[in-house]
Structure 1
Amino acid sequence: MLLPPDPGAPRRARRLVREVLEGAGREEWIDAAELAVSELVTNAALHARTDVEVDVEVHPEHVRVEVRDSNPTLPSQRHYGEQATTGRGMALVASVSADCGVTALPDGKVVWFEVRGRQEDPSEEDLLAAWDEEQWEVPGAAGAPGAGTAPPAALSTVRLLGVPPTLWAATRQHHDAVLRELGLYLTTHDGVTADLAAVEVARQSFSNALIAAAEDARRRTPVTSIPSTGLPTALEPIDVELDLPAEVGPAAAALQDALDTAERLAARGELLALPGQAEVVAVRDWVCDQVRSQLRGGSPWPWQGARDERFETPAPGTGPAAVPDEALTAVLDEAARRGRGLVAVDAGSRVLAVSAGLAAALGWAVDDLVGRRVVAIIPPALREAHIAGFSRHLHTGQSRVLGKPLVLPVLHADGREVTCGLLIERRPTPAGRWLYLAWIDPPGDADPA
């Protein structure tokens, strides 16, 4: 069956698989095969952006399903948290099939799977255990053993200086989430456009290469942690050289345009994903601008880092989230009763409320700190790790700090670092928003033990 890359393709592929297996009398293979082919055809429609050919072969001991497209870019493995909204397509196929893989072709690729034997319904424990990332090796997938593509001709070298590995990994995870939602949004909404084919060129060239470099840096660099917490610090910046063809320049521009569109939709609440943190947007703009500039003959200039004061003030039009005043008043009253300092922050890292005693202890007037981003009181050396961790939390639900007593340095308004005891928690509000509360002991009262 030949299918166009539209929203109806997965449904027609499922129907084909069901009809073939019912005709062969192998109903026991239908559920697993339908689920796997649906995922593969959806991926082809969203990412390959070409016509899709689905072949179903029934053999005495198994059924083999092949999904072919005309985009030579291989699927990439991702190991995201259990609450991530994307990144486990091939993992899902591997979990429900007896065997699967990817075959590169000169004019595209074939992604295939086989179902055999009697498929038993897995228990909940089996499903949870199956999320062990070591079970997701898919032969031929980009990032899996044996993967590779032939280098294109007429390449130019792009030097990205000072790439922040920890921040870029979180940035790419944000991109994966919002771009997948954008692709689905475009199928049902008029008046919004994005060149998703060009976006894939950018992601599969320099974006994937940066992820590979970041993962290599993580493997080679000893993990350091913040004293008294065990929390990992951000990896040191790395320099990355990429050999890219000229057409990647326009693709980088298309990636920026698509992500800007997705950010606007997310800010209006039209996507499930939340808008990206300011540093996440800034580092992707830097990467894309560097690729475009250097492919036109420009000179490289390094990433300036997340310590820039510009990140302390929210961008125009991104004011505090709509958290009811009574919710903020309630948590400030609670802080007064408990005798603890408090900073209340929204999902955009904006400070919505701060207790007067804590603000004074940190050298701030309440009105000056409210409305800023919380990085204003985070030491510069810890900002990248904070932003990366918070961004991952917003997209996956994972957190290493929520509900855990911590002893961390907090930045005083005069630039000093003061040691404080912290406990961070997340609370829902009546308006359906999340409020992040940092209970902070007065400087000097923290117990390092």
Structure 2
Amino acid sequence: MGDPTARAAPSRRFPPGPQSAARARRFVRAALAEAVPGAAPDLLDTAELLTGELVTNAVLHARTEVVVSAALADGGRARVVVVDGRPDRALVPQGHPPYAGAGQGLVLVARLASRHGVESGSDTKAVWFELGPGEPSGPRAWEPPAPPAGARETVVLVDVPGALYAASQQHRHVVLRELGLAAAAGNGLVPAAELVTAHDAGNMISACVAAALRDGTAEGEIRSLALAVPPDAAGAVRTLARVLDAAEAAAREERLLALPALPRGRAFHRWLFGEITGQLSGAHPTAWTVVPREPGDGPAELAPWDPGHVRTSRVPTVAADEQNRIIAVNGPAADLLGWRADDLAGQRLTAIMPEHLRERHRTAFASLLLSGTPRILGRSVPLPALHRDGRLVPVRLFLQTQETADGRTVFVAQLSPRASALGPAPPHTGRRPAGREPDAAREPASVRDPASAGGPAPAREPDAARGAGAGPAAPAADRAGEQRGATVLPALEGLSLLARTGAEIGNAPDLDDGLRRVGRLLTERLAEWCAVDLFAEDAGVERACVVRRGSGEPCAQEFQGRLPPPTEAARGPLARALSGAGPLLLTGPPQADPTSPLDADYRDLFERMGAASAVVAPLRARREVIGALTVARGRRERPFTEADLRLVDDVCRALALGVDNARLYQETR
């Protein structure tokens, strides 16, 4: 590589200190004003800005003397070159969002320069850009050089949530940059040698993850990454962990401008550093999704924040940003508080709080941001909410945090009416929450009543669906049936069921035991019996678990095992759920297509287990259907209705996430 400063261009050397950025900007402006007579002020302004970014990067990450040159290049463009003495420190464009506090330097150069690039030699690295007339002729994205050759060890990170990684990476860069600037000003909070090592370790991790994301084929938000890490990196990573711990303590004491990390960010960094150091010492990978965490350390939903999830949730939900402003409200929450959802969006959270609690909320919210210490994250707390008409609404608040895809934090609050837990829910009015309708509600009657599948819908439900004596003239005692399932589960009980479902399968030692635990839970609270069917590795279907209330154990010998393969002739509800349809409401035994063994097997299950009504729904994980859940009730219980579909769909989401995590964990082991 030729020396980029060999051209007849004015150049100047600057020491590795923060004051060098301002001095380099002034030098470049003066040099270009002389080299480009009549240069437009905006060209000089842009050159100053980009020079400051590149010199700052060199000071923070290379920590060597910097040589800056500025001259007129071919084509009448102004050319600026920043040279440091660390060719081994490759550029790692971060791609942070515009409001992030770090990682913008290379992004600005790529967006504003006509041409830009990086060249590494044996002793130096030169980063350059050109500004001038004409269309950009160079690449619009950075192409960092290949990492230095040398021995590498593979560290596998299982179940990395992209949004949480982005947020943690941004915070790490901001804290390390502030520590570096403080040290340069003589106010070092950690030993200088440890800070240097921490900077290098942080850059190494970012470069390894960037390379894994660039070279990998994994899709989706939750993915596994294979990092090529130097075999001697464990000590540097431990130093990075100690430096960040010291920085967190300083941030909580308000000795830094940066805010401390929230609990989930701290837990993620502990896991990330522990995986690197542990695997370099011979330990096996442990998935992030199976690591035990304290309340507030992790969300039930690992996908990035999506306002659509709020709108379609059946639980009253309000979401707010880091500025304490409401950014999403669903229909049930708006109805509970007497507002229109659109009217609440954009207001402060205090708009739905009683006046005597507002100051406490402001103090607690500020304390969370300033100290990173949660008080109610991940916990269920009884509080009154403020109705629009001024009355108080007793609710139970469950607050969690989620990250957006670009690294911001969103606070998601579920409001369960406490009164609903003390008595039956109000009669179903037919009104559905805002968002998509259940699939069964959009299907024709012949599908909602699979007993008539393949033919015209009957004028009334079959007797098997209503149950003996369940007609309008039946005695009151018979119409009432058993109390279990007599009403739609209250919101708080539904939220508890979802939380218990995730906990039961997540805390089980293996997948089979987890499915048995979930089966016992569902038959205690929701159904008389349930069945879980899962796709196997060869695309076949296996009945993994069938549990009946009171039996305590699954019906292994009778019903579990390999099922007939789905065929094009299969049109029954199970085949449709395995194809992604549902949740589907069944008001009687499903009709079997004589040419479909899978349909016949499913009908046989209903006849032998006994079911007057049921719901079958797909289990989805990482945008794929991995199986189906069936919950069924006998004729002496209240039949399932469309009002139950949303709850079953939510249960399926929690169950599918647990099944997918358990399978990934087993594969890793």
Give the TM interval when normalised to the shorter protein: 0.5 to 0.7
CA spacing shift, 1:374–1:213, aligned 2, 3 Å: farther
How far has the Cα of 1:42 moved from its partner?
0.7
Runs of 5+ in structure 1 lacking a partner? 119-134, 223-234, 315-322, 337-343, 363-368, 376-385, 419-442
Aligned twin of 2:184: 187
| Amino acid aligned to 1:137 | R
Aligned twin of 1:122: none
- The within-5 A match list for 1:17-416 is 17-24=28-35, 25-28=37-40, 29-59=43-73, 61-71=76-86, 72-117=88-133, 137-140=140-143, 142=144, 147-152=145-150, 154-193=151-190, 194=192, 195-213=194-212, 220-221=218-219, 235-238=221-224, 240-295=225-280, 297-305=281-289, 308-312=292-296, 332-333=353-354, 346-347=368-369, 348=372, 350-351=375-376, 355-356=383-384, 362=396, 374-375=399-400, 386-389=401-404, 392-394=407-409, 415-416=496-497
> d(CA) in 2 for partners of 1:355 and 1:254?
43
> d(CA) in 1 for partners of 2:100 and 2:434?
26
| Amino acid aligned to 2:14 | L
Bigger CA drift: 77-86 or 162-171?
162-171
CA contact (8 A) 1:165 1:214 kept: no
CA contact (8 A) 1:78 1:87 kept: yes
Q: Among the aligned pairs, what percent are the same residue?
A: 31
How far has the Cα of 1:33 moved from its partner?
1.6
Runs of 5+ in structure 2 lacking a partner? 1-11, 299-323, 325-347, 358-363, 386-391, 414-432, 437-489, 500-642, 650-669
Whichever of the two has the greater Rg, that structure is 2
The structure whose RCO (Cα within 8 Å, separation 6+) is larger is 1
| Amino acid aligned to 2:167 | A
Alignment pair present for 1:7 and 2:18: yes
TM-score, L = length of structure 2:
0.44
How far has the Cα of 1:46 moved from its partner?
0.9
User: RMSD of the alignment, in Å?
Assistant: 4.4
Per-residue CA deviation, residues 128-183 of structure 1 (Å, 9 max, x unaligned), is: xxxxxxx993343x3xxxx423432x333333344344422322122222222332
How far has the Cα of 1:256 moved from its partner?
1.2
How far has the Cα of 1:15 moved from its partner?
2.5
TM-score, L = length of structure 1:
0.63
Bigger CA drift: 92-101 or 31-40?
92-101
> d(CA) in 1 for partners of 2:393 and 2:236?
46
Aligned twin of 1:428: none
How far has the Cα of 1:313 moved from its partner?
8.0
| Amino acid aligned to 2:245 | D
| Amino acid aligned to 1:151 | A
CA contact (8 A) 1:166 1:214 kept: no
Per-residue CA deviation, residues 106-138 of structure 1 (Å, 9 max, x unaligned), is: 3342100112249xxxxxxxxxxxxxxxx9933
CA spacing shift, 1:99–1:26, aligned 2, 3 Å: farther
CA contact (8 A) 1:332 1:355 kept: no
Tell me the SS of whatever aligns to 1:374. Answer: strand
Tell me the SS of whatever aligns to 1:102. Answer: strand
> d(CA) in 2 for partners of 1:160 and 1:313?
18
> d(CA) in 1 for partners of 2:354 and 2:395?
18
How far has the Cα of 1:196 moved from its partner?
3.9
Residue correspondences, number: 345
CA contact (8 A) 1:162 1:302 kept: no
> d(CA) in 1 for partners of 2:59 and 2:350?
49
> d(CA) in 2 for partners of 1:176 and 1:56?
29
> d(CA) in 1 for partners of 2:291 and 2:491?
14
